[in-house]
Chains A and B, each alone.
Chain A
Amino acid sequence: MSCDITEDDGTLLVRLHGDIDLEHADGVRDRLLDCVARGKDIRVDLSQVDYIDSSGIATLVEALQLAKDNGTALVLAAVSTQAQRVLKLARLDKVFTILETPAASPAGGG
C-alpha cells in the first residue's frame, strides 16, 4: 500500500495504491485524516487500488464524515471495479460522490 498526496488548485489529490484492508487501513486512515485536518477539499483516487475491504471502506466513511463536519468536500475518483463493487455492497455508492475521471487530470465536472 502506498499513498501519494499532491495539491492541485486548492484541492488535495490523494492517490491510493495496493490493498486497503485490515492490515493497511490504519495507515490510510492516518494520512486521510491529516488531509481532512488541512481544511481543503479532497479527491481520493482509487484507480490503483487492487483490493479494499470493510475496514478500508470504514476508513473512507470516517474521513467523509469529518470532512462534512469541516465543511469541506471529499470525493472519490476513478474507483476500481473491485472498490466500486464493495461500495455497492455497503450501499455507500450513493453516499460518496464518485467521479469517473482519474484524480490526476483536471476535473471535468460533477
Chain B
Amino acid sequence: MADPVRDITDEALPDPPADLAAMVRRIAAAADPVAIVERSLDAVTALPDIDSAWMLLADPPDGDLVCVGGRGPVDLSAFKVPAATHGGAAATERALAASLASRGLTAPSPTCAPLVVADRHLGHIAVAGRPSVDAEPVRRCLDVIATTTALGLSHARLAQTSAEQERDRRDLALAGEIQRSLLPKPDAAGSAVYGLNRPYRKVSGDFFDFFSPPDGLVRFALGDVSGKGMNAALLMAKTASLFRCLGKTMNDPADLLALINREICETASRGMFVTMVAGVYAPASGRVRFANAGHQPPLLRRTDRTYEEFPADAPPLGIIPEIAFDARTVDLDGGEFFIFTDGLTEYRHGDSDVLGVDGLIQMLETMADSPLEERLHVLLADLDRDGWEVRDDLTVLAIDDAKASRSLDGGGGVIAAGQGETLGFLTVPALVDRVRLVRGAVEAAARLCGFDVATSADIVLAVAEACQNVVVHAYADRAEGTIELRTFRRPDALVIHIRDFAPAVDPRTVRPRDLDDIIPGGLGTHFIREIMDEVDFLPPPSGGGNLLQLIKTRVERE
C-alpha cells in the first residue's frame, strides 16, 4: 500500500503543501473542538487550488448539519441542513451548491469530504476553488485532513462526555451521602426502634426516620417515593425533612400526614407520589398510634406468634390535596411492629417466585430467638445467600416492644447493679395531682423497709419533691410525659429510682436552695438533699431521659 503523504509530496501534487504531516499533527494536538476546526480549516486552505473551505458539523450526530467555521469570501455561518434531510456527501454538496448559488456564486461547485469515525458521521469539510479541486491528489489530502479532524473531534467529545459523567457520578455519590445523613443515627431513640435502608442505586426513593422529643414518645415514619433515580431521591429528601420538622410539633399522625400531603401536592412534580406511614410509639405503654397513606400494611407480630396486617385506608401523599387521614392505635403488648417498603416483599427468586408477606412471616418464624436488629440482618443475608434478588430500594423500620419493656425493667446494667430486692414499680403521668399516687407508694415502701413513721414521712416528701421537679421543670408541664418510680429494699437502705423521659438534666444546675432564696423548686431540692443520704443522677438508660437515684440508709437502733 502506497503512503498517501509520500505519493502527494513525491509526485502527484504539482505544488504540494509545505508539510502536510505537520498540519495533521497540529490538528491532532488540539484539545478542544473549536481549535480542531480552526486548524483543520487552515490545513485545508493551504492545499493548492482551494480558496474557500467550510466545516459543517452535526452535533449530536443526528442533529442539524450546521456551518461552524469557514475560510474564503463567502460567509456560510447561516447555512444549515435540517437533520431529516442531510445524508451523504452528494446530498450535502447539492445543498451547498444551492446555497452558494443563492449568493450568486455558481461555479465551481463545491466538494465535500465526510468526517467519519467508526461509522459515526460527524459532518463534512466542504471546499471550493478552481476545477482542479476535484483532482485525485487534492482529494486524498482532503481525506487525510478530514479523517484526522473527525478523530480529533470525536476524541474531544468523548473526553467532554466522560468529564461530565465523572461530575455526575460524584454528584450522585454526594447526594447518596446526604440522603444517608437524613436517616436517624442507630441509637437515636433507644434500641427498641430500629431501621435499615438499602438503596438499589446510589440514591434512594425510600426513607425512614425516628426520634424522641423530650416527652419520651418516639415519632417514626417510613416512606416510599414513586419511581427511582434523582427525582425520587429529591422528593424523598423533601418528605423526610417535612416529617422531621413537623413531627416535632405535631402529635397526631393523621394531622401530620394531612399537612405533609398538602405540601407535597402543592409542589411535587406531576405524577409523583409518596406512600408513607407515620406514627408515635410510647415505650412506657407499648402503644403505637399511626396513620397510613397508601403504604403497604404494617405488620404486627404478637408474642404468641400470631400476625396482623394494618392496610391503608387513604391514598398516597401528593395526589389529592384536601384529604383526611385516620389514625389508629395498636397495643404491641411486648410484640414487634414492622413497617417496610415493597422492596422487602418483592424479593424475587427466578422468574416467578416472589417473597411476599407470607414468605416474610415464614422467614421470621424460622429464625432463632435473637434480637430484632440481628434477625433483620440475618434475614437479608439469608435471602441474598439463597439467590433471592431485589430490584428496588429496601427499607424496614421495626419496633421491638419487648426490648422496650426489658430496658425499662432494669436491663442494660445501669439499674441492675446492687439496688436490692424490688419492692414496687409505678408509672404515673407527669401531672401534679398524680404525685399523690407516688406518695402513697413511697410511704408503703418506706414502712416495708422498716423506717418509722416520721422518717417515712420525710422520704415521702423527698420523693414527692423530686417528682414535682420532673413535672414542673423537666417536662415543663407538658401533659404527655410519664414518671416511673421503682423502689428497692437493700438490707441497709431503701433505694428509690425516679425515671423520666425529659431532656437530660445537668446535675450541676440542680442545687440546694440558698436559704434566702425562696423558690419552690430550689427549696424542694434542698429538702431532698437534707432528707436522703445519697442523691445521684445515674447515666440515663437507653431510651433517654433522666434517672435519679435516692438512697435512705437505715440507722439500726441499739
Contacts and interface: CB of A to CB of B under 8 A. Distances in A.
Contacts of B519: 58
A36 to B, nearest CB: 16
A85 B468 contact: no
Interface stretch (A9-17, A39-47, A49-57, A102-110): A49-57
Contact of B520 (A19, A58, A81): A58
Contacts of B37: none
A91 B523 CA distance: 11
Interface residues of A, number: 20
A23 interface: yes
B550 to A, nearest CB: 15
B468 A91 contact: no
B468 A22 contact: yes
Interface stretch (B147-155, B274-282, B294-302, B457-465): B457-465
What range describes how many residues of B lie at the interface?
A: 20 to 34
B472 A22 contact: yes
A54 B523 contact: yes
Contact of B457 (A55, A62, A82, A90): A82
Given A22-B468, A61-B518, A89 B432 contact: no
A89 B531 contact: yes
Nearest to A61: B518
Contact of B458 (A19, A23, A85): A85
A100 interface: no
A21 B435 CA distance: 10
Contacts of B1: none
A53 B461 contact: yes
A86 interface: yes
Contacts of B461: 53, 82, 86, 89
A23 B524 contact: no
Interface of B: 432-433, 435-436, 439, 454, 457-458, 460-461, 464-465, 468, 471-472, 515, 518-521, 523-524, 526-527, 530-531
B530 A54 contact: no
A21 B439 CA distance: 12
A23 B432 CA distance: 6
A55 B458 CA distance: 15
Q: Which among B454, B458, B520 has the greatest number of chain A C-beta atoms within 10 A?
A: B520
Contacts of B458: 85, 89
Nearest to A25: B520
Contacts of B523: 54, 57-58, 90
A104 B302 CA distance: 64
A79 B77 CA distance: 108
A54 B454 contact: no
Contacts of A22: 432, 435, 468, 471-472, 520
Interface string A55-99: 101100110000000000000000001100110011100000000
B471 to A, nearest CB: 8
Contacts of A91: 515
Nearest to A55: B520
B481 to A, nearest CB: 15
A26 to B, nearest CB: 10
A89 B433 contact: no
B465 A53 contact: yes
A85 B432 CA distance: 23
A86 B527 contact: yes
B432 A54 contact: no
B530 A89 contact: yes
A55 B468 contact: yes
Nearest to B431: A23
Indicate the member of A25, A51, A62 with the most B CB atoms within 10 Å: A51
A58 B518 contact: yes
Contacts of A90: 523, 526-527
B527 A89 contact: yes
Most B CB atoms within 10 A — which of A54, A55, A61, A85? A54
A82 B527 CA distance: 13
B457 A54 contact: no
Contacts of B457: 81-82, 85
A54 B515 contact: no
19 contacts: A19-B436, A21-B468, A22-B432, A22-B435, A22-B468, A22-B472, A23-B436, A53-B461, A53-B468, A53-B524, A54-B520, A54-B527, A55-B468, A57-B523, A58-B520, A82-B461, A89-B461, A89-B526, A90-B523
Given A53-B527, A55-B524, A85-B457, 16 more contacts: A21-B464, A23-B436, A25-B520, A51-B460, A53-B465, A54-B468, A54-B520, A54-B527, A57-B523, A58-B523, A82-B457, A82-B461, A89-B461, A89-B526, A89-B530, A89-B531
A54 B465 contact: yes
User: Closest 6 CB pairs between A and B?
Assistant: A54-B523, A54-B524, A55-B520, A58-B520, A23-B432, A22-B468
A3 B526 CA distance: 28
A22 B530 CA distance: 19
Contacts of A62: 518
Nearest to B460: A51
A78 to B, nearest CB: 18
Contacts of B468: 21-22, 53-55
A57 B468 CA distance: 14
A28 B527 CA distance: 21
A60 to B, nearest CB: 10
Interface centre among A22, A23, A86 (most CB of B within 10 A): A22
A79 to B, nearest CB: 14
A66 to B, nearest CB: 13
B475 to A, nearest CB: 13
A91 B517 CA distance: 12
Nearest to B531: A89
Contacts of B436: 19, 21, 23
A58 to B, nearest CB: 5
